[in-house]
Amino acid sequence: MPVSRRGLVAAALASGVALPALAQTGDFPNRSITITVPFAAGGPTDVISRLVAEGMSRDLGQPVVVENVTGAGGTIAAARVAQARPDGYTLLMHHIGLASTATLYRKLPFSVLESFAPLGLASDAAMTLVARPDFPATDLAGFMRAIREQGDKLNLAHAGLGGANQLCGMLLQHAAGKAVTTVVFRGSAPAITDLMGGRIDIFCDQATNTANFIRENRIKSYAVTSTGRVSGLELPTTAEAGEPSIAMSTWHGLYAPAGTPEPVQQRLSAALRAALGEARLKQRFADLLTEPASAERARPEFHRKFLAEEVARWRPIIEAAGLYAD
């Protein structure tokens, strides 16, 4: 429902919000919007962001462009958006790594829970538990038994601090009650190459990255970490295979700086939901083995609560591992 200028002024007077910042919300948006992405062009977060940006642009009637700002595990991009003018024209698309950042980094120029206005979740992607081609385990029970028995004699790949595969690896070790030797790669592609070559024992990565290798039997696969099975992969969920605690997804969410006027937040969130409802986006997400967030999950209220829950969930796991980025 359109919000009148009189209503905005009344709300501002009641809440103490400065009128100059609020005065521009009546005709929002009247120029291009930038979605800041913390990772390189061509990666999953970038691709998802560009698909969402296209759909939002059609709904908002203004260009929505993507800017890649890489470095420091995504904290440079997050800090830039946290410090941006809270007018709705500078946004952040980040994945599960924003929740882990709250614990992985003991000193940050922003607060994960206080510096952003969550606008809604955008997507969910399952992780896959995989191993080198000659790994002896034939099912998830054997996979977990190997970890429990061999511990640090096994090596586990991950593609950077705070990324989904590092978090999944932590979750895996937490469930097994045993630490393994971790090897850091600059991205999933080189990690999978070494996995296929037998130089890495086990890995946990997005189905988007591993599906073709699984289908071609170039790596061994055991389960998906999602609550439901992934279409096109003949794999049980971790819950079905007896390890319900190893459950997670690589989710993405859209954020504005804290202090962005509520009517602007709601307009952006509505545009996000409109984009996620488009048939063309759904098909492209399906190609990526990614699910668009439901209308309920793509709302600020759900996203805000979910982010707080994710920060709380990962804190004890990261602290138990004792791995920090600073």
- Closest CA relative to residue 232, chosen from 189, 272, 288: 288
- Closest CA relative to residue 197, chosen from 215, 219, 217: 219
Query: Does residue 26 share a domain with residue 118?
Result: yes
Query: Does residue 108 share a domain with residue 156?
Result: no
Identify the weakest region by mean pLDDT among 78-82, 100-104, 160-164, 195-199: 160-164
* Structural domain boundaries, residue 171: 126-224
Output the CA torsion sign for 248, 153, 157, 80: positive
Identify the weakest region by mean pLDDT among 88-97, 183-192, 235-244: 183-192
Alpha carbon 215 to chain centroid, angstroms: 25
Query: Does residue 118 share a domain with residue 266?
Result: yes
Residue that terminates a domain, selected from 191, 224, 257:
224
The mean predicted confidence, pLDDT, of the chain is 91
| Assigned domain for 75 exists | yes
Tell me what the mean pLDDT of segment 248-257 comes to.
97
Instruction: Work out the number of other CB atoms within 10 angstroms of the CB of residue 136.
Output: 10
**Mind listing the pLDDT tens digit for each residue in 114-146?**
999 999 999 999 999 999 999 999 999 999 999
Instruction: Say what the pLDDT of residue 21 is.
Output: 44
Instruction: Work out the number of other CB atoms within 10 angstroms of the CB of residue 109.
Output: 13
Q: Where is pLDDT greater, at 91 or 323?
A: 91
| Assigned domain for 239 exists | no
pLDDT tier for residue 25 given thresholds of 50, 70 and 90: low
Instruction: Say what the pLDDT of residue 8 is.
Output: 43
pLDDT of 13 over the 60 cut: no
pLDDT of 6 over the 80 cut: no
Query: Does residue 138 share a domain with residue 91?
Result: no
Instruction: Work out the number of other CB atoms within 10 angstroms of the CB of residue 27.
Output: 8
What SS3 class is residue 52?
helix
Query: Does residue 279 share a domain with residue 207?
Result: no
Give the contacts of 158 (CB within 8 A, at least 6 positions apart). Answer: 165, 166, 169, 182, 183, 184, 185, 191, 203, 204
| Assigned domain for 42 exists | yes
Q: What are phi and psi of 175, to 5 degrees?
A: -70, -35
- What does each C-alpha distance from 269 to 60, 64, 218, 262 come to in angstroms? 11, 14, 41, 10
Q: Which CATH number is 276's domain given?
A: 3.40.190.150
| Assigned domain for 242 exists | no
CB 272 within 8 A of CB 122: yes
Instruction: Say what the pLDDT of residue 163 is.
Output: 82
Q: Which CATH number is 197's domain given?
A: 3.40.190.10
* C-alpha to C-alpha distance for 170 and 203, rounded to whole angstroms: 11
Residue that terminates a domain, selected from 224, 257, 280:
224
| Assigned domain for 255 exists | yes
| Assigned domain for 244 exists | no
* C-alpha to C-alpha distance for 126 and 316, rounded to whole angstroms: 22
What pTM value is reported for the model?
Answer: 0.87
pLDDT of 270 over the 80 cut: yes
Q: How wide is the angle at C-alpha 149 spanned by C-alphas 144 and 152, nearest 5°?
A: 95
| Tokens 């009637």, located at residue | 61
CB 34 within 8 A of CB 41: no
Query: Does residue 278 share a domain with residue 173?
Result: no
Query: Does residue 14 share a domain with residue 32?
Result: yes
Identify the weakest region by mean pLDDT among 6-15, 65-74, 255-264, 308-317: 6-15
Query: Does residue 282 share a domain with residue 189?
Result: no
Percent of the chain with pLDDT over 90: 82
CB 164 within 8 A of CB 147: no
Query: Does residue 103 share a domain with residue 113?
Result: yes
Query: Does residue 31 share a domain with residue 90?
Result: yes
Tell me what the mean pLDDT of segment 158-165 comes to.
84
Residue that terminates a domain, selected from 174, 207, 224:
224
Query: Does residue 204 share a domain with residue 58?
Result: no
Tokens representing 51? 């698909």
| Assigned domain for 90 exists | yes
Query: Does residue 180 share a domain with residue 115?
Result: no
DSSP state of 183: E
| Assigned domain for 144 exists | yes
Identify the weakest region by mean pLDDT among 70-74, 267-271, 279-283: 70-74
Total domains in the chain come to 2
